Structure 1
Amino acid sequence: MGPDLIEYLRLLQQLKSYNNVPTELIYSLQSYTSIVYRSDVQNRFSEPMPWIGIYIALASLFCIIAIVADLLHGLRNRKLWFPCKYFTLNAASLSVIAIAMKLPVDLNNSMPGDVDQAAKLGSMGFMCTMMSNLLPALATLDSKELVTNIIALGVLVITIVVNVCIQIKTGVVSSIEVWYLFDDDYYSNSVSYYTMPIAIIYVAMLLMLLIMHACSALAILKSKQILEMKYQAAHETAMKDKELQQPGRLSVDKIKQLVSNYWIMASTGNPQFFTACSATSCASGVISAISTVLHVIVILLIVGSLGDFRSDYKWSALVILITQFIGSIVGTMAPLSRCFAALSFKLSIKWIWNNMNVFKVESYWTQTLYDLKESTMPFLSCSRKFKILLENTKVIVLSFCIGFQKTVVVTCKMIGLIPIFIVICIFICSCCWKWLKSMFNAFGIVLIKEPEQHETNKILSHYVLQLQEDAELAERTLKRISYSFERIIKKAEKQQPYNLMKLVEGYRGFRRAEKFDSHHVLSLLLEESPSCWSLPLVTLTTMAISLPNIKKDRVDCLLSGVSEGMVYVTIVEDSLNATDDHVIIQKAAQTLWLEVEIYQKWLGNKLRKPVPLANTAGQILLWLRDTAKNMVTRVESRDTKGQNDSSKFWSISASSMYRITEMILHSNHAHVDKVSPEELFEQLSSMIADIFVACLTNLPQVIAMKCHSSEIEKREASVYAAAQLLGETMQILNTIQDSELPSLNPDDLVFIVDKLGA
């Protein structure tokens, strides 16, 4: 029993002890025992509710952090339309949002306090803000994901709307609460008068945002097809250059221009860019701003009664209110910025005049519905009358949907007139400023000297992708996109692999040592693993760091250079050598390199003077050769079918070591004991540099391959990776181009390492 019930029973016993208390009164009071018991049980069940409120606040905080991350990402990359990178629409985000919306869907817990009512209303405002932020994220989904996530979002929003309507009906969200009938402070409560109308407004905005998401999804499906067709046409134009068809002759300037062209195509052809510039996105920004204003009004109404929380959530209701209020304020920034940024991207007199015609609905908004309307239904064995009924029903339903879609688009454009008028004022001020600047320039006073980039912008404009044929991208927007590309290159140049450059700078035209025939060494190595650079690099590095009497700083410098270079070798191999045989060798090389770099071991054997009696370079080579040979023999003696991945890895690594050491010993004949460790270390380092140069010669082709992606959702990220790779390796590529390469055909340069032994 709870303390309330115990106290109530004690009072009843005390009343029974009095003779002057009527028996009927005592029996009447005893009938309330069950009510007190249920109340006591309910109080015990509601004890965890404050911690559930903290759980709700934490879920809201996760959403806010993701929204802020998108804001910072957009500001950092100068993308004022703020693409959705972290706060996206998927199963995880919908689950977190559902937790954050616990208050609006809570039908049973009464919310009599001012803070309780404000928190419930604030949750709906926060939901409006989150939906406005999620709108561009629809463009990141493929067709199947788009349908499933829109349905999931619709179920969540409709659940919130239905539950809030029920609460309005039952009085949980209402202007009159039964608890206030016994409260002397009822008439001092100001928020209760506005709870119901504000809740109804929020319900209407949630439904409008859900409709906008559904309409945007239909437009995205068609717009991706249009953008894909235009991208393929621009891709063919970009690849017409004859030099691009000969990867071995690609200069750094040519590959930079190619990446710049693809950056323009990926940026303007980004589905998120289209969605952020659409009428629905602009309208959602306005709705988000209105919901935030309502949220601020609610906070102002209860600012004098922040301690009035009477629900089971207790003090946690205030935590939820403050957290979601901050989320609404911060979350409104991105939708509003998208709204004004979208207008500035295409800002011109012609564009403004066209958009003032709000009754014009572009074809991509309704084309998907028209295609469904004209398509045939897959009938099974059914009667002719039933087929006619289904077909007529389909036509009627889709005709209604087309009309409804047009109505939504027109409504969104009418809502979008609000920021358009603001932008017109800014545009007029900008024109006045340009006119004043030209007047001053006419008198010889130069206020701001702008660089001449008209020719460059004219070339880049050929790669701008637009949904509408008559649409034109503002010149300032094209400059901004070009500037963002230059920023990526300059930022990547600060991350260049300096240790690798030191290693490669010692290379001069594939020069070879006189004592060791490196041509034969590399030829023997590549007989079984053509076009694989990582394994010989790891093997040669293993030999170099195992030599005695080599200064530690030289070994560390070599390890650092190879470590930096292996990153780019892996990129090249993954791009050019994707066969199963190459993949097995590459995995073996990666596993072996981890052991060599971190633990200074080779297949479990310690390097750096591995055996006590091996004090010369020749003895080290002999020990490595014999150890590798024993490993190969031991692995081959086992059943080949029973070999696991570890056995294959040992076999590949040991075979590579045996072939290289055997060839070096054979090339040196009987003078191996006379070779100093320093001399052998120099020769091995030279061979390592040669292989790096051979591999990195393919980087221009790899960068060109990364520019083109078949998936429209990943296209911008792919071009970004190509630009990042170009910036990091630009100095190395210039060094390689300035070197004297062997006289090979351009096609042979792609796999130049195969020709080293020719």
Structure 2
Amino acid sequence: MAETSSPQFLMACNPLSTASGVICVIILVLNLLLVFEIPCGYHGEQKVYGSSYKWSILFVAITQSIGVLVGTVAPVFRCFSVLSFKLHNKWNMTHFMAIKVEKYWTQKLIEWKQSPIRFLSSPRSRTLAYNSKGIILSLCIRLQQIIVILCKVISFIPTVILILFVYCWNSLKVRLVTQSVIFKTDNIDEGLSNYVLKIHDEVELSEKTLTQISNSMSSFILKAEKEQSRDLLDLLEKSTGFKGVETFDTDHVQPLLPFESVNSWSLPIVTLTCIAICLPNINKDTIKRLLRSVGEGLSYTNIVEESLNCEKEYVNIRKAILILWNEVEHKCKWLNKALQKDDFSGKTATEILKWFSERAKEIVREINRGEMVENAPKELIAANSMYRIAETILRRDASNAVPITKKQLFALLNGMIADIFSACFTNIPHVITVKCQESVIEKREAGVKDAAKVFW
């Protein structure tokens, strides 16, 4: 279970989570007692506390208690979350008797203590600094051990109270309720316990814990199932293989840029879509379905590209493509040029492709000065892609005896888009593995959600 960014899914939770909740509750109770005691501390004009703030000290205490109350909410909820899972675990007396400090609590301090000192040149100074460092860190290690032991002892308080309460409640139910209740747990795969992170090996997983972890993952998959796009599936059915990946671009067309620009899955898809939606004599509903399917597909290609291409140049091109696609989808524009069908009515498919090719060359000439090697603007990236794709299709059409029609061009563009999507989605198994093995805890939950989305 890669969904370990939520602390309640740790099998043996950090004792600091439970202890912090108990400590916060004690501090809150003491603050509330102080608030109720202050009015009783004054008798007429006599100041029992000798404070010159008089009655204003009451408002100071109330304000302080409000801050303590707000700060107590999160630790208390975290404590209840931990206790709800501990309640369903299989407990024995070893949990209460083994008050020990595990190695990971002091491992880093021990490493610092044993590490050499290199910034002093004098051997005598180095020896003195090393011994002083050892004494200080030894005290820190002892203090850390004491704190951990105290937290474990404090964490037992609500656990024991909860166990006693549940025991009494179950005993009462046995006396009052004669009909036994049978819980159905046949659908629980006990093999899932091998994929749950355990801090303490002696703590056994309960069936309820497995159920909640499994339900958490299933909710991501069900959400992805509900959000699936039928339009995207219809588009992918038009793919006949990976031929479109080979034919949308060719090395025989020289790039417009003086430097080599990195490519991606999303860029040719957006470029091909721009040409497709401006073709006249194409049904509006067909164009709308194409836009919806491409928009849905780009959400998946973005996940694939984020997982496989993390270099700076790929990050820049993804940002440029995102801006470019937003203009196409919401404004029906390509580099500030409206893709209205009326502007292209009366033109043949070949003339439309030539217009895009010439327009791309003009944009590159206006912007490029030969020195932009890194962080090329989105206009250069989009124009270079458009020129190469348009010229590739024009060269292919020139070899045909009959010029390509608009409907044939639209079908060709749809097939290329579907083929590129299909080729990109072959990386999904590897992407799921990468997303579920995210080492950064803060990114792990988002990675699992992305994995569930592309999985479905």
TM-score bin (small chain): 0.7 to 0.9
For the 8 Å contact 1:629–1:654, the answer to whether it is kept is no
Instruction: Deviation per CA, 1:427-463: give whole Å up to 9, x if none.
Output: 425765898999856xxxxx34413145x22x22122
Match of 1:360 in 2: 100
For the 8 Å contact 2:239–2:418, the answer to whether it is kept is no
Shift of 1:662: 0.8
Instruction: Deviation per CA, 1:690-736: give whole Å up to 9, x if none.
Output: 3222222322222222111233453344223322443xxx2xxxxxx
Match of 1:645 in 2: 376
Instruction: Tell me how far apart the structure 2 counterparts of residues 311 and 502 of structure 1 sit (CA, whole Å).
Output: 78
Shift of 1:667: 5.3
Instruction: Tell me how far apart the structure 2 counterparts of residues 325 and 619 of structure 1 sit (CA, whole Å).
Output: 75
Summarize the Cα distance change of 1:584–1:339 in structure 2 as closer, same or farther, 3 Å threshold.
Answer: closer
Match of 2:30 in 1: 294
Moved more, 287-296 or 593-602: 593-602
Two-structure CA RMSD over aligned residues (Å):
4.4
Match of 1:723 in 2: 452
Shift of 1:411: 2.7
Residue pairs, 1:558-569, within 5 angstroms: 558-569=290-301
Match of 1:101 in 2: none
SS in structure 1 of the partner of residue 248 of structure 2: helix
Summarize the Cα distance change of 1:356–1:621 in structure 2 as closer, same or farther, 3 Å threshold.
Answer: closer
SS in structure 2 of the partner of residue 641 of structure 1: coil
For the 8 Å contact 2:242–2:423, the answer to whether it is kept is no
Shift of 1:404: 3.0
Please identify the structure whose Cα radius of gyration is greater. 1
Moved more, 549-558 or 585-594: 585-594
Match of 2:268 in 1: 536
For the 8 Å contact 2:245–2:420, the answer to whether it is kept is no
Match of 2:439 in 1: 710
One of 451, 461, 483 as aligned partner of 2:185: 451
One of 686, 691, 694 as aligned partner of 2:415: 686
For the 8 Å contact 2:361–2:387, the answer to whether it is kept is yes
Shift of 1:327: 4.9
For the 8 Å contact 1:536–1:656, the answer to whether it is kept is no
For the 8 Å contact 1:625–1:662, the answer to whether it is kept is no
For the 8 Å contact 1:345–1:473, the answer to whether it is kept is no
Shift of 1:481: 1.3
Q: Kindly indicate whether residue 283 of structure 2 is the aligned counterpart of residue 547 of structure 1.
A: no
Instruction: Deviation per CA, 1:83-124: give whole Å up to 9, x if none.
Output: xxxxxxxxxxxxxxxxxxxxxxxxxxxxxxxxxxxxxxxxxx
For the 8 Å contact 1:539–1:656, the answer to whether it is kept is no
Scaled by the length of structure 2, the TM-score of the pair is: 0.77
Residue pairs, 1:207-222, within 5 angstroms: none
Instruction: Tell me how far apart the structure 1 counterparts of residues 54 and 409 of structure 2 sit (CA, whole Å).
Output: 75
Instruction: Tell me how far apart the structure 2 counterparts of residues 403 and 645 of structure 1 sit (CA, whole Å).
Output: 56
SS in structure 2 of the partner of residue 524 of structure 1: coil
Match of 2:306 in 1: 574
Shift of 1:286: 1.6
One of 319, 335, 339 as aligned partner of 2:75: 335
Summarize the Cα distance change of 1:554–1:530 in structure 2 as closer, same or farther, 3 Å threshold.
Answer: same
Summarize the Cα distance change of 1:688–1:340 in structure 2 as closer, same or farther, 3 Å threshold.
Answer: closer
Percent identity of equivalent pairs: 40
Shift of 1:550: 2.8
Letter in 1 for 2:202: D
Summarize the Cα distance change of 1:724–1:437 in structure 2 as closer, same or farther, 3 Å threshold.
Answer: farther
Instruction: Tell me how far apart the structure 1 counterparts of residues 68 and 410 of structure 2 sit (CA, whole Å).
Output: 63
Q: Which has the higher contact order (CA 8 A, sep 6+)?
A: 2
Instruction: Tell me how far apart the structure 1 counterparts of residues 115 and 314 of structure 2 sit (CA, whole Å).
Output: 47
Letter in 1 for 2:305: E
Shift of 1:652: 1.2
One of 336, 339, 342 as aligned partner of 1:607: 339
Residue pairs, 1:179-578, within 5 angstroms: 261-263=1-3, 266=4, 277-301=13-37, 318=59, 325-329=65-69, 331-347=71-87, 351-357=91-97, 359-378=99-118, 380-382=120-122, 384=124, 389-429=128-168, 432=171, 440=179, 447-453=181-187, 456-457=189-190, 459-504=191-236, 506-507=237-238, 509-510=240-241, 521-522=247-248, 524=250, 532-578=264-310
Shift of 1:480: 1.6
Summarize the Cα distance change of 1:432–1:587 in structure 2 as closer, same or farther, 3 Å threshold.
Answer: same
For the 8 Å contact 1:345–1:477, the answer to whether it is kept is yes
Instruction: Tell me how far apart the structure 2 counterparts of residues 289 and 584 of structure 1 sit (CA, whole Å).
Output: 49
Count residues in correspondence: 440
Instruction: Tell me how far apart the structure 2 counterparts of residues 720 and 448 of structure 1 sit (CA, whole Å).
Output: 34
Match of 1:188 in 2: none
Shift of 1:541: 1.2
Instruction: Tell me how far apart the structure 2 counterparts of residues 564 and 349 of structure 1 sit (CA, whole Å).
Output: 42
Summarize the Cα distance change of 1:698–1:525 in structure 2 as closer, same or farther, 3 Å threshold.
Answer: farther
Shift of 1:525: 8.0
For the 8 Å contact 1:276–1:338, the answer to whether it is kept is no
Instruction: Tell me how far apart the structure 2 counterparts of residues 689 and 316 of structure 1 sit (CA, whole Å).
Output: 72
Letter in 2 for 1:451: T
For the 8 Å contact 2:267–2:382, the answer to whether it is kept is no
Summarize the Cα distance change of 1:451–1:359 in structure 2 as closer, same or farther, 3 Å threshold.
Answer: closer
Instruction: Tell me how far apart the structure 2 counterparts of residues 655 and 580 of structure 1 sit (CA, whole Å).
Output: 24
Summarize the Cα distance change of 1:624–1:465 in structure 2 as closer, same or farther, 3 Å threshold.
Answer: closer
Letter in 1 for 2:268: P
Match of 1:85 in 2: none
Shift of 1:422: 0.7
Shift of 1:350: 6.9
SS in structure 1 of the partner of residue 410 of structure 2: helix
Summarize the Cα distance change of 1:526–1:291 in structure 2 as closer, same or farther, 3 Å threshold.
Answer: farther
Instruction: Tell me how far apart the structure 2 counterparts of residues 405 and 569 of structure 1 sit (CA, whole Å).
Output: 47
Match of 2:258 in 1: none
Letter in 1 for 2:248: L
Letter in 1 for 2:194: H
Instruction: Deviation per CA, 1:536-580: give whole Å up to 9, x if none.
Output: 212221111111233333322222222222222222223334567
Residue pairs, 1:53-202, within 5 angstroms: none
Match of 1:624 in 2: 356
Instruction: Tell me how far apart the structure 1 counterparts of residues 305 and 115 of structure 2 sit (CA, whole Å).
Output: 46
For the 8 Å contact 1:492–1:724, the answer to whether it is kept is yes
Instruction: Tell me how far apart the structure 2 counterparts of residues 525 and 659 of structure 1 sit (CA, whole Å).
Output: 11
Instruction: Tell me how far apart the structure 2 counterparts of residues 472 and 492 of structure 1 sit (CA, whole Å).
Output: 32
Instruction: Tell me how far apart the structure 2 counterparts of residues 343 and 451 of structure 1 sit (CA, whole Å).
Output: 22
Instruction: Tell me how far apart the structure 1 counterparts of residues 442 and 395 of structure 2 sit (CA, whole Å).
Output: 50
